A and B are shown apart, each in its own frame.
Chain A
Amino acid sequence: MAAITFLEAIKQAMFEEMAADPSVVLIGEDVGVYGGAFKTSEGLLEKFGWERVIDTPISESAIIGAACGMSYLGLRPIAEMQFIDFIVCAFNQITNFVAKGHYLWNAPTPMVIRGPSGGGVHGGPFHSANPEMYFVHTPGLKVVYPSTPYDAKGLLKASIRDNNPVLFFEHKFLYRRIKEEIPAGDYTVPLGKAVVRREGEHLTILSYAAMMHTSLEAAEALAKEGIEAEVIDLRTLLPLDEETILQSVKKTNKCLVVHEDTKTGGIAGEITALLCEKAFQELDGPVLRVTSLDTPVPYAPTLEEAFLPNAQKVFATAKELARY
């Protein structure tokens, strides 16, 4: 067991899947010789050659379209978006072509669309996006957003093996900032399953990706004040693990949702509705949310800091919730 970074976990997942299954190919911008803008595909071209590691022109719609076409022949392409911000350039291909195929004409589309997402690294308004909710609104897609190297590797492998189109978001703040020991060899983490990261009885904090770490940090601070928060890492946003969410909220009776995505239309709203429908009697307080502000992601560090959630904001909101 060796401690590896989040970035290394992504690389290992792709490497191992490509080594195990010739139907897995990688297609994207600068993924070959350069090894990807974030070096997640470093060494893949060397090992698997030009036919399996395909550098393309700067054409997101064409990348997604071509990956979709390849998947119709039973291949399992991984399409990389150099930055996940550019995924919306292929919005139509993803939401209209890729997502609807199985329901409409029984065409499975086993492909993964992955790329670096999220803010906190001063990437500015066009290199910091969290576009997950555009796609959570699209039946036919699966949306995965891991927070740890172990999960990143296991979930990416599961995504590649899944027969459906999976959008896989990699929070770039985590790429080299966290390390984790992971077991050698093959394992997967199932899609659609959340995980309890910290047990607690007073309130539930639901989060994912970089904000999961922020939530845990806040939970430790809360514990010092006698408030035990249960922190749940959603991991997959579509399909959402309702069971784990409901189980926890029925125990703690309070729920706070923390995400880096902006507030309006973020998954916190969806979860709130879910709790109203299925756990209304169990709630002892309002469902609260700590999210980014409803603005574009600003560039200046001072502005970005004000824009993003942080442990203090989570701490303060959780304390407010605990008072109910």
Chain B
Amino acid sequence: MPVTESRRKAKLSRQQYLDLYYYMRLNREVEETMTRLFRQNKIVGGLYSSLGQEAISVGTAYALEKRDWLAPMIRNIGALLVKGVPPRDIFTQHMAKYTSPTKGRDGTSHFGDLENLHIVSPISMLGDLIPVMTGVAMGGRYLGQKIVTMTWIGDGGSSTGVFHEGLNLAASQRAAFVLILENNQWAYSTPVRRQVPLENLADRAKAYGIASYIVDGNDVVEVYTTAKEAVERARAGEGPILIEAKTFRRRGHAQHDPAEYIPKEQREFWEKRDPIALCEAFLLKEKLLDAKGKKEMEEKLASLLEKEREFAENSPMPPEETVHGGVYCGGDDCHKIRPKWERPIAEVMPPQSSVEPVWKVEGFGKGKSSSGKNAPIHFGDVQPEHRAQEPKGRAVKKSDRKPATKSAKKGGR
């Protein structure tokens, strides 16, 4: 679905405009702080940049409500910030500090919060979050929570098997799930044209019979208003929605990559379309922001980030002995697992839950399955007389039928 003029021109409140601008600035400055830390050798491992893509992380996550769930990908620090993650968590994660959300067990944006912020931790394997966030949406609906779930995928990641399995399951379940496809035109060194023979990756949605949008990923207002519409459509039960956001990856794949494979003209084109600069020009023109307001915001950002960075820098590395433990949940003392029901439980318990077990196929009447003690199952386990010979020494003879418990002398039951 193309973005309508009305949505593009949608009027937001002044606070909403300023929020979007603020979070994009915060996103960029958190990453610039980390680039400096990287150059000082204080970042453990790689550092990925979302320079020029901030409008997507911020605009989409801003469309979610507090109860909703998200799972970021590596270039979605902006989404985490909007959801309420403090910058220190991002710094400590990247620096592998003991004070990080994972206590140094994983890095980058690989952390989550099931209880309060409703964030699922990503893993590196591209696409894996799609079925997982589909499942969160299915579970939320089952519990009566009216939540929407969201995750992101790159142009490159949209060719993984789980992308397709996940989106198809989401579609067949009509899950309240919004998938943001960030088409930044490169997957590491491979241009999108070499990955997918489609002009618009949003066309992938057609294969699953679901709605899709294409947005200018560098226009935060367009991203936000479109995402908002998608989130509310999903919440209303319309099923999953795919949004393709067209943008450009302005840095290399990660800090190590000078990205010399990118044509100069392409880079220049997109550098002129910086999402923060575009937003700022709009705010100044519409008098939603003035020089004084801008300066105040910048001072606020600077002092916040200095505090947060100092906290991270002064934090210890995890002590060696903390490598142990936590592989398994130790039961109730470790995690009290109690789903949050927002509908009467009686609805999902017999007799209310009971149904007639038939397929209802439009135009084909009803179908029913075979059943009963001797219903046929795979591999002729039904009628032993039809089985020519049992492999010798394997058949469980009559006399052996109760061997296990009869001869059990200790342990067990």
A289 to B328, CA, bound (A): 30
Question: Which among B4-12, B137-145, B183-191, B287-295 touches the partner chain?
Answer: B137-145
Query: Considering the chains assembled together, what is the distance between the CA atoms of A124 and B350 in angstroms?
Result: 40
Cβ distance B180 to chain A, nearest Cβ, rounded Å: 17
Question: What's the nearest-Cβ distance from chain B to residue A118, in Å?
Answer: 11
A74 touches B340 (CB 8 A): yes
Chain A, residues 34-66, CB within 8 Å of chain B (1/0): the string is: 110111001101111111101011011111111
Chain A residues, Cβ within 8 Å of B375: 35, 39, 42
**What 0/1 readout, one digit per residue, does chain B (109-130) give for beta carbons within 8 Å of chain A?**
0111010000011011100101
The yes or no answer to B363 lying at the interface (CB within 8 A) is no
Q: Which of A143-166 contact B (CB under 8 A)?
A: 147-148, 150-151, 154, 163-164
Q: Name the one of B353, B371, B403 contacting A39, with C-beta atoms under 8 angstroms.
A: B371
Q: Tell me, yes or no, whether A139 is within 8 Å of chain B by CB.
A: yes
Q: State in angstroms the CA–CA spacing of A195 and B408 once bound together.
A: 8
B140:A310 contact, CB within 8 angstroms: no
> What residue of chain A has the Cβ atom nearest to residue B120's Cβ?
A72
B121 and A57 contacting across the interface, CB-CB below 8 Å: no
**Would you give the shortest CB distance from A90 to chain B, in whole angstroms?**
9
- B134 CB–A CB distance under 8 Å: yes
Q: Using a Cβ cutoff of 8 Å, how many contacts connect chains A and B?
A: 314
Interface status of B354 (Cβ within 8 A of chain A): yes
Interface with B: A208-216, A249-257, A269-277, A278-286, which one?
A: A208-216
Contact A150 B329 (CB under 8 A): no
- Option from A104, A108, A195 in Cβ contact (under 8 Å) with B121: A104
Distance (whole angstroms) from the CB of A63 to the closest CB of chain B? 8
B41 within 8 A of A: no
Do B404 and A233 touch (CB < 8 A)? yes
Residues of chain B within 8 A (CB-CB) of A304 are 391
B-chain residues with CB within 8 Å of residue A198 when the two chains form the complex: 407, 409
SS class, residues of chain B in contact with chain A: loop
A233–B358 CA distance with the chains assembled, in angstroms: 41
- Give residues 195-211 of A contacting B (CB, 8 Å): 195-199, 210
Q: Say if the beta carbon of A311 comes within 8 Å of chain B.
A: yes
Q: Are A66 and B134 in contact (CB under 8 A)?
A: yes
Q: Which residues does chain B contribute within 8 Å of A97, judged by CB atoms?
A: 123, 125, 128, 132
Q: Tell whether A140 is near chain B: CB-to-CB under 8 Å.
A: yes
Q: Considering the chains assembled together, what is the distance between the CA atoms of A168 and B136 in angstroms?
A: 23
Task: Give Cα A37–Cα B412 distance, bound, in whole angstroms.
Answer: 30
A92 to B132, CA, bound (A): 13
Which residues of A have CB within 8 Å of B368?
33
Kindly list chain A residues whose C-beta atoms are within 8 Å of the C-beta of B134.
62, 65-66, 69
Contact with A along B185-203 (1 / 0, CB 8 A): 0000000000000000000
The answer to whether A52 and B353 have CB atoms under 8 Å apart is yes
| CA–CA, A305 and B337, complex, Å | 46
Considering the complex, which residues of chain B in the window 387-413 have a beta carbon less than 8 Å from any beta carbon of chain A? 388-389, 391-397, 400-405, 407-413
Partner of B169 from the list A62, A77, A163 (CB cut-off 8 Å) is A62
Residues of A within 8 A of B401 (CB): 3, 178-180
A113 interface hit (Cβ, 8 Å)? no
Contacts of B3 in A (CB 8 A): none
Contact residue among B102, B332, B350, B413 (Cβ-Cβ distance under 8 Å from A47): B350
The number of chain A residues with a CB under 8 A from chain B is: 112
Q: Give residues 136-187 of B contacting A (CB, 8 Å).
A: 136-140, 142-143, 145, 149, 161-162, 165-166, 168-169, 172-173
Residue of A nearest to B389 (CB): A301
Residue of A nearest to B331 (CB): A163
List chain A residues, Cβ under 8 A from B285. none
CB distance from B390 to the nearest CB of A (A): 8
State whether B136 touches A46 (Cβ < 8 A): no
Bound Cα distance A127, B367 (Å): 27
Are A178 and B411 neighbours in the complex by a CB distance under 8 Å? Answer: no
Within 8 A of B (CB), among A92-106: 92-93, 96-97, 100-106
Q: Is the CB of B139 within 8 A of A57?
A: no
CB contact under 8 A between A51 and B121, given known A56-B169, A69-B137 = no
Q: Are A48 and B348 in contact (CB under 8 A)?
A: yes
CA gap between A187 and B412 in the complex, in Å: 12
B269 located at the interface, meaning its Cβ lies under 8 Å from any Cβ of chain A in the complex = no
Do B138 and A108 touch (CB < 8 A)?
no
Residues of A within 8 A of B102 (CB): 104-106
> What residue of chain A has the Cβ atom nearest to residue B162's Cβ?
A61
Contacting residues, chain A, for B405 (C-beta < 8 A): 148, 150, 180
- Quick check: A73 and B327 within 8 Å, CB to CB? no
Whether B335 is near chain A, meaning CB under 8 Å from some CB there, is yes
Closest to A116 in B: B378
- Indicate if B2 sits at the interface (CB-CB under 8 A): no
Partner of B349, one of A22, A25, A100: A22
CB of A69 within 8 A of CB of B394, answer no
Is the beta-carbon distance between B132 and A189 smaller than 8 angstroms? Answer: no
By a CB distance below 8 angstroms, the chain B residues around A301 are 388-389, 391
In the complex, residue of chain A having the shortest beta-carbon distance to the beta carbon of B413:
A150
Give A60 to B162 CA distance when docked, in angstroms: 9
Task: Name the A residues within 8 Å of B353 (CB-CB).
Answer: 47-49, 51-52
Is the pair B392, A305 in contact by a Cβ cutoff of 8 Å?
yes
In contact, B162 and A310 (Cβ under 8 angstroms): no
| Highest count of chain B CB atoms <10 Å: which of A32, A69, A301 | A69
Q: Which of A3, A25, A71 has the most CB of B within 10 A?
A: A71
What are some 17 contacts across the A-B interface (CB < 8 A)?
A45-B357, A49-B354, A51-B353, A54-B138, A59-B168, A62-B162, A67-B135, A70-B135, A74-B340, A97-B132, A102-B328, A104-B121, A120-B394, A164-B328, A172-B379, A199-B410, A305-B392
User: Which residues on A are within 8 Å of B, measured CB to CB?
Assistant: 3, 7, 19, 22-23, 25, 32-35, 37-39, 42-43, 45-52, 54, 56-57, 59-77, 83, 92-93, 96-97, 100-108, 110, 116, 120-123, 127, 139-140, 142, 147-148, 150-151, 154, 163-164, 172-181, 187, 189, 193-199, 210, 212-214, 216-217, 231, 233, 244, 301, 304-305, 308, 310-313
